[in-house]
Amino acid sequence: MRVDLNADLGEGAGHDEKILELVSSASIACGFHAGDPISILASIRAAQERGVAIGAHPSFADRENFGRIEVVLPAGEVFTNVAYQLGAFQALATAAGARVNHVKPHGALYNMAVRDEKLAEAIVHAVLTIDSSLLLFAPGASALEHAAQSAKLRVVREVFADRNYLSDGTLVPRTRPDALLHNPEEAAVRVLRMLREGVVRSVDGTDVEVCAETICLHGDNPEAVEFARALRESLEKNGVSIQAP
C-alpha cells in the first residue's frame, strides 16, 4: 500500500520543520487565515529542502477566526479570493524554483465546499484558471470532488487522521469536544482500516465509506509532531509506503 501524508503548515505553530521531516506533502497557508509573503516563501523553501511536495492552502479572509468560521459569500467573490491566493502562491514558488503540486482549501472554506455545489465550482474554476495541472485534495463523494471531476481536474481523496467523523461522512464540528482524536495509536489503527477496508468508524458507531489517498494531520495542534511520528512509524511498520501523489 502507498499513501500520501500531508500537513497544514505555515500557520505559525512553531514546529513546521519537525513536521516536514515526517510528511510527504505540505499545504501552506496563503496569507488569508495565517501567514504572509515572508512565511510563505520560507515554508516553500523548507519543504523543498526536504523533498516534500508543496500545495496552496487558501481560505476565507478571516485571520481573527483562523479561517474556521463559515462565511456566506457570492460565488464570484470566492473565485476571486481563491484565484488571488493561488496566483500569489504560484509566484512565490516560482521565485524559489519550486513546483506547486496541489491545492487544498482550508477550514470553513473546505468544509462548506464539501456540501455546497456553487462554492465547490467556484474553487475548482479558480484552480483551473491558475493551473489546470494542479491536484485538488478533497473528500471522496463530496460536492468538491464532483465539481472537480466534472471539470476534469484530478482529485486526491483526503481523510483525516486526527479528526472524528459523523455518520454522514463529514467531520465532527470543532465546536464539539469530540472533534479531535488525540491518541496516535488509535489513529494509526483507524487509518490502517481506512486503507485496507475503505471505512472509518463514526462517533455514532456506524461505519462510513471513505477513500484514503492522502491523510491529513493538522500542524497547528500542540501534539502534532509526536502524533505524526507515531502515525508514520505505525504505517511503515505495516508495509505502507509514504509518498506524495
- Convert the pLDDT of each residue in 196-239 to its tens digit: 999 999 999 999 999 999 999 886 777 889 889 999 999 999 99
State the number of CA atoms in the 13 A half-sphere of 138 facing the CB: 26
CATH superfamily, domain at 2-242: Glycoside hydrolase/deacetylase (3.20.20.370)
Q: How confident is the model at residue 74 (pLDDT cuts 50, 70, 90)?
A: very high
* Rg of the chain, C-alpha, whole Å: 17
Cα angle 181, 111, 87; round to 5:
115
Q: How confident is the model at residue 1 (pLDDT cuts 50, 70, 90)?
A: confident
| pLDDT average, residue stretch 78-98 | 98
C-alpha dist (Å) from residue 3 to 23, 28, 84, 85: 11, 19, 30, 27
237 Cβ contact partners less than 8 Å away, ≥ 6 residues apart: none
Between 135-139, 142-146, 154-158, 189-193, the lowest mean confidence (pLDDT) is in 189-193
User: Which grid cell sits at 172?
Assistant: 465532527
pLDDT of residue 149: 97
Asked if residues 164 and 180 have their Cβ atoms less than 8 Å apart, the reply is: yes
| pLDDT average, residue stretch 108-112 | 97
Burial class from Cβ neighbours inside 10 Å (0-12, 13-18, 19+) for residue 113 reads buried
What's this model's pTM, rounded to 2 decimal places?
0.95
- Please give the mean pLDDT across all residues of the chain: 95
- Number of residues assigned to the chain: 245
Q: In the chain, what are the helix, strand and coil shares in percent, each to the nearest 5?
A: 40, 20, 40
State the number of CA atoms in the 13 A half-sphere of 245 facing the CB: 23
Tens of pLDDT, residues 171-193:
999 889 999 888 888 888 999 99
pLDDT of residue 23: 97
Alpha helices in the chain (DSSP H): 16-20, 37-49, 75-96, 107-113, 117-130, 143-150, 184-197, 224-237
Backbone angles phi, psi at 205, to 5 degrees: 90, 5
How many helices (H) and strands (E) in the chain?
8, 10
User: Which grid cell sits at 157?
Assistant: 481523496
Tens of pLDDT, residues 22-54:
999 999 999 999 999 999 999 999 999 999 999
The domains of the chain are located at 2-242
pLDDT of residue 223: 80
User: Which grid cell sits at 21?
Assistant: 521531516
d(CA 74, CA 166): 28
